[in-house]
Structure 1
Amino acid sequence: MEDYKNIWSGRFDGDEALHHRVFQRISFDKNISPKDFVLHGFAVDEGVKRNKGRVGAKDAPDIIRKNMSNFPVVFPDFILRDFGNVYCANQNLENAQQELADKVTGILGKGGKSVVLGGGHEVTFAHYSGIKKAFPNQKIGIINLDAHFDNREPEIGVGASSGTGFWQIAQDGQIYSLHIGIQRNSNTLKLFDTAHRYGMKYILADELFFENLPSVYQRIDELFAEVDVMYLTVCMDVFNASIAPGVSALAYNGLFADTVFTHFFRHILKNEKLVAMDVAEVNPVYDIGERTARLAASLVNEWFMNHYRES
């Protein structure tokens, strides 16, 4: 296990539980109990490179950890187990994805909740593969908060990338996915057509406004009702460039982390079928004041708070 002592640190107000922050509840113990959150870093952006994006996301997991450290603990039985990073040796993305998948399967098989800090959005296929192996006979739903469908067919001679995850998943059979925040100016007609052919449902970024929240809730609830377990993946390029400048593909008209977003995001998090979540595409090379990493950390922390609130 790598030494994360200097990463998991923050303001120390005391040893009593009422003072605790996340860094005081980190465990490296491999003994998983049901409902434990177990974290892996996916320190990989080979898929971004293959997808002709701006590399640098492989350096994000530890920076996100740092930005998670100081959040206050609001429930007494909270614990976060950190199982370290997965790396990509010799540009072998497929091996790195398989390694993460195997680790995720082990976590879920013991009743834990899987949290992954990316890394590029090639984490999606890896994370899903681990969930699928853990729940082979159950319907797995995916909510993808993203400006992009990430449903490209792998390029011949290049292979899988950060943009092919949902195409790969669809080859496994029926796909149960809802893509929220899709931008018309970020996806070709071919990608929309692929979404339609495979039954990938979506909500455009233009549809995310306060008066439309009942419809958004309904679409989310319909997917939850259709599946047995749920996986949430957040590509940080779904957000506006002003609050998430550190990504591979900037979105000038992306989402803001405002009241509308918070409402439907928490609506997702409070559902007991949610067993796995990741954040992807934080790129520290292009970040400003770690604001993208801080936002990603905040999104993960929202799950910690909402999961325990509903338990």
Structure 2
Amino acid sequence: MFEWTGRFDGDEESYHRIFQRVKTETDYETINPNDFVLHGFAVDEGVKRNKGRVGAQEAPDLIRKNMSNFPVVNPEFSLKDFGNIKCENNDLETTQNLLAEKVSKVLSKQGKSVVLGGGHEVTFAHYSGIRKAFPNQKIGIINFDAHFDNREPENGLASSGTGFWQIAQEGEIYSLHIGIQKNSNTRKLFEIADDFGMKYILADEIYSENIPNIMFTINSFLEDVDMVYVTICMDVFNTSIAPGVSAPAYNGIFADRQFMQIYHHILSSKKTKALDVAEVNPNFDIQERTARLAASLVNEWFMI
């Protein structure tokens, strides 16, 4: 289990940093409503199957390290850490099912699910857990990603690029993809997205003058679903701020004012119940920039 440590300024709550408010747990009965509940998905078997750069399985603890010193803003903030899930014997499917079971327990206790990837094969696992807990709810997925991840599995094997295809096979899919790159998806993948009814906002469309249109799209999506799951593939960001990913993007988006306006708006919705970050690859990171950015994005939810 990861040992949470950080700068100690005092015991009073007003001095607290995240490491002082984390409880490492194994018993899901300890979860209270509105607790943030953390799992690490230390898996990149799906990236390997998708012919990407492996290494994301090492990311969860590095992200935790970069989360540790953030100050606690909300007095009621509570974070319970249930450790990492690892992939044994290259058995991705069993590992995904294990995470789904754990996420279902969290949400059944009215906790808020946070997962640190690992590869973006976390999407199908995380979503499956939400659906298991709320089988009759309309679950909306907001995916910040350069890629649709809607490939049909090769030889029947799921990967980091097949999550949304898998979800669509189980029924109607409700997803909004933000940051999609034209040069990262074949025409066939765009056609599949259209066939599945996947909504998307291109990276090229994210600029200040277009924010009202983007907000309209997001609000329409939020109104149409019962709950929201946010998944962030770190390769949506420009390689200068996120060099440590499986598929770097020279023209990715930035975590600038426009992005944060969009992101905060989504996190502020009471329908948002789950969040994960994926594809941080410590093998290629520089000065832990990508891990730090991923940690910061998670922390934004903690502060709302």
User: What TM-score comes out, normalization by structure 1 length?
Assistant: 0.96
Alpha-carbon distance between aligned partners in 1 of 2:302 and 2:216, rounded to the nearest angstrom: 24
1:1-311 aligned within 5 A: 2=1, 4-5=2-3, 8-29=4-25, 30=27, 31-156=30-155, 159-306=157-304
Structure 1: unaligned runs, 5 residues or longer: 307-311
RMSD (Å), alpha carbons: 0.6
Deviations 1:20-52 (A, max 9, x none): 000000012430000000000000000000000
Give aligned-pair identity as a percent: 70
Alpha-carbon distance between aligned partners in 2 of 1:117 and 1:214, rounded to the nearest angstrom: 31
Secondary structure in 2 aligned to 1:89? coil
Structure 2: unaligned runs, 5 residues or longer: none
Alpha-carbon distance between aligned partners in 2 of 1:211 and 1:228, rounded to the nearest angstrom: 30
Deviations 1:61-106 (A, max 9, x none): 0000000000000111101000000000000000000000000000
Q: How many pairs were matched up? A: 301
Question: For residue 138 of structure 1, what is the amino acid of its counterpart?
Answer: Q
Secondary structure in 2 aligned to 1:217? helix
Q: CA deviation at 1:216?
A: 0.8
Alpha-carbon distance between aligned partners in 1 of 2:277 and 2:112, rounded to the nearest angstrom: 14
Alpha-carbon distance between aligned partners in 2 of 1:274 and 1:257, rounded to the nearest angstrom: 20
Alpha-carbon distance between aligned partners in 1 of 2:227 and 2:24, rounded to the nearest angstrom: 26
User: What TM-score comes out, normalization by structure 2 length?
Assistant: 0.98
Q: CA deviation at 1:9?
A: 1.1
Runs of 4+ in structure 1 off by over 3 angstroms are: none
Q: CA deviation at 1:217?
A: 0.8
Deviations 1:143-173 (A, max 9, x none): 000000000000016x000000000000111
Question: For residue 148 of structure 1, what is the amino acid of its counterpart?
Answer: H
Alpha-carbon distance between aligned partners in 2 of 1:210 and 1:134, rounded to the nearest angstrom: 38
Alpha-carbon distance between aligned partners in 2 of 1:257 and 1:111, rounded to the nearest angstrom: 30
Q: CA deviation at 1:208?
A: 0.3
Q: CA deviation at 1:129?
A: 0.2
Alpha-carbon distance between aligned partners in 2 of 1:89 and 1:25, rounded to the nearest angstrom: 31
Question: For residue 98 of structure 1, what is the amino acid of its counterpart?
Answer: N
Q: CA deviation at 1:203?
A: 0.1
Q: CA deviation at 1:260?
A: 0.5
Alpha-carbon distance between aligned partners in 2 of 1:147 and 1:227, rounded to the nearest angstrom: 23
Secondary structure in 2 aligned to 1:136? coil
Deviations 1:284-303 (A, max 9, x none): 00000000000000000001
